[in-house]
Structure 1
Amino acid sequence: MPLVTVGWICLLCGAPGGLWLVFVGFFNMVVAGAERRRAALHTAVRGCWWPTVRRLAAVPGDVARAATPLSQYAVAAPGDLLNEALDRLSLRTGMYILVLVADAGHLVGIVSAKDIARLMQRHTLGGNAPN
């Protein structure tokens, strides 16, 4: 901030170099703010355990043990109406994914909030044809 102030004073006194001091001062303020946020994030996650491939390889168990059961997700059949499926999704707090399961119990796909937003945008813009 002092560099910006000095730059403005120089600029008001007629020194054209004051404008550069203002720009450099603003640049320093932006970079210092970004560094302050990065340092705060680094301090906050310092005690967290970040898994590495070697650490994960040492954990006993298989994929089924680590996976979230399908019963904890909002599930819909491919032929269900979107508004009914979204009602089911909103009843489960914290669930953002709608899993589509065919009649035989095989996974057909996963619908995320981004997929729904893209569909709504396409519909709003008049391009109703699916991709």
Structure 2
Amino acid sequence: MVIGFFIMIVANAERRHAGLAAALHGVRAGDAMSSPVETCPDWLTVERCIDEVAMRARHSTLPLIDFEGRPSGMVHLPQLAKTPTPQRETLRVRDVATPLSQYTTCAPDDFLEDVLEKVHRSSGMRILVTDGQHLMGIITARDISRLFQRHALRGRERR
């Protein structure tokens, strides 16, 4: 019975993987991304970031932008919350952020299937879409799920 249950789990995972591959086939990153992206200037203090950006943000992770408008990292809101209150007035948000090098980036014309193969496992499902060195959009697990759902709807319409 345990072996049968294990086979059933593996078969379901394979079926979902095949469905996801079909849904993403030929899709470019630019077509999957959410845009515009809520960002935070990396030079703000943690306190200003919390007051001016994080309190109104719709997402739990924000891309950081440097003076030239280039992405420089990502800050997860719980990272801001963990910053001791006395340090929030002087510590820059870039000092508590995760560097851009630990995230996956791609161009809008890259195929999503190829991009997903390069995703940094430690950063979660967040892919920054850049055109040159400027942020164009972001791809999250929610965006991938939305593509999969649309593909499923199209498949049912054709029957």
Structure with bigger strand share is 2
Larger RCO (CA within 8 A; separation ≥ 6) = 2
Normalising by structure 1, report the TM-score. 0.48
Structure with higher Rg: it is: 1
Structure with bigger helix share is 1
